[in-house]
Amino acid sequence: MRALVKHHQDEGAQLREVPIPTIGPDEALIEVKASSICGTDVHIYTWDEWAQSRVKPPYVFGHELGGVVVAVGENVSNLQVGDHVSAETHIVCGHCVACRRNDYHVCLNTQIIGVDRDGCFTKYVALPASNLWVNDPSLPFEIASLMEPMGNAVHTVLSGEVAGRSVAVVGCGPIGIMAAAVAKAAGASKVIALDVNEYRLNLAEQMGATHIIRSHKEDPVKAIQAITRGEGVEVALEMSGHPIAMKQAFEMLTPGGRISILSLPTRPIELDITNDIVFKGITVKGITGRRMYETWQQTASFLESGAVDLNPLVTHRLSLDDFEEGFELMKSGRSGKVVFSL
C-alpha cells in the first residue's frame, strides 16, 4: 500500500510502498478514509528542533484519522468489522503511577501514533482496540478525523468552569479555533479570539468568537480591559506558544482567574510570577492530550448535538498525492484543517 513516509532526517516526505500491517490479538486493522494534517505533522515535515529530538525516520507519520474497522484480533470484544472509528493517538501502558490514578493522558510510557510508531497517512493502520472510539455512521469521515485535535480543545476549555465566564483564546490555529467554538457551546459569556492572522481570525469569528483582537494592530491587554470593563478576562486559553503572547495572557487574566496552556513554547519564557500569578491567586493548568475517555465523550456529545459544527474549519480537501500542497497550506497559515481523502 502507498504511504506518506518521513523518509530522512531533513525537511519533506515521500510517497512510498509499505506493507499492510498485521494485527495482534488485542488490535484492530483500520481502513483509513480521511486523515487531517496536525501541527505536529508540520513539525515533523519541516524537521524542526522538536522533530529532530523525537522522531526516528523512516516511518509513516500522521495521527488524525476517520476510518472503518476491517479486521479485529482474537481478544477484541469492543469492536466489530464495519464500525466507523476515530483514534485516541496516545497509547498508554496502563500500569504506571499516572495510569493507576486514571490520569492516562499523562502516562509515563506514552507512545503516540505517527510520532513514536507508524501512523495513518496511508490506507491501513493497526491500533490497539482500546484506543478506538466508535462513531455514529452518519458522522462524515473528515469530521471524524478532527475528533482527536478537537479533544485537545475540549480538554483545554473544560479544565475549569466556563459557563457565564469571559474566555480569551490566545492563538487561533485550528485547535484554537475549535476552542473558541467549544467555549461558546459551553456557555461562555464572551469568547475573545486573539491572533495576527486575519484568515484564521475570520474562521474563529465564524465558529463562535464574539470578539476579535488583532494583536499586531492593538495592545491585547488594553483591548481585553476595554471588553471586560477593566476587570480582565476570567479564563485564558494559551494556544500560541509565542513568548510575548503568553506573557500577555497572564497579564490579561483577572484575579482568581484560570489559564490553561496547551501550546508548546520552543524556549523558556520569562513571566512576572509575583504579580501575575501569586498576587492574582490564579490557577494555571498544563494541558496535554485528552482525558481518556471523558474528553472523547464530551467531544462526541458536542458534535452529535450540533452544538459545535466543524464543517467551516475544513477548508481544503486533497488527495495524498497532493501532500506537498497540503503542508505548504498549513505552513502559510491560510487554511483551517487540511484533510486527505484516502
Task: Please state, in angstroms and rounded to a whole number, the distance separating the CA atoms of residues 160 and 225.
Answer: 22
Q: Is 165 one of the annotated binding-site residues? A: no
- Is 244 annotated among the ligand-binding residues? no
Instruction: Check the annotation: does 120 bind a ligand.
Output: no
Residue 40 is a catalytic residue: yes
Q: Is 90 annotated as a binding residue?
A: no
The residue type found at 190 is K
200 is an annotated ligand-binding site residue:
yes
- Helix, strand, coil distribution of the chain in percent, nearest 5: 30, 30, 40
Closest by CA to 111, choosing from 67, 54, 60, 66, is 54
172 annotated to a ligand binding site:
no
Q: According to the annotation, is 219 in a ligand binding site?
A: no
DSSP state for residue 255 in the 8-state scheme: E
Residue 134's DSSP bridge partners are 85
194 belongs to an annotated ligand binding site: no
The number of angstroms, rounded, from the C-alpha of 162 to the middle of its chain's C-alpha atoms is: 19
Q: Does 43 qualify as catalytic in the annotation? A: yes
93 annotated among ligand-binding-site residues: yes
Catalytic residue among 40, 89, 122, 254: 40
Active-site hit among 43, 84, 155, 211: 43
- In the block, residue with C-alpha cell 483577572: 254
Respond yes or no on whether the N-terminal peptide bond of residue 58 is cis (omega within 30° of 0).
yes
> Do the beta carbons of residue 183 and residue 207 sit within 8 Å?
no
**Does 63 belong to an annotated binding site?**
yes
Q: Which amino acid is it at 59?
A: Y
* 107 assigned ligand-binding residue: yes
Q: Could you tell me the sign of the dihedral formed by the alpha carbons of 85, 181, 35, 53, in that order? A: negative
Binding site as annotated, residues for Zn(2+): 38, 63-64, 93, 96, 99, 107
Q: Which residues are the active-site residues?
A: 40, 43
Instruction: Tell me the binding residues for NAD(+).
Output: 175, 195, 200, 262-264, 287-288
Which residues are part of a known binding site? Answer: 38, 63-64, 93, 96, 99, 107, 175, 195, 200, 262-264, 287-288
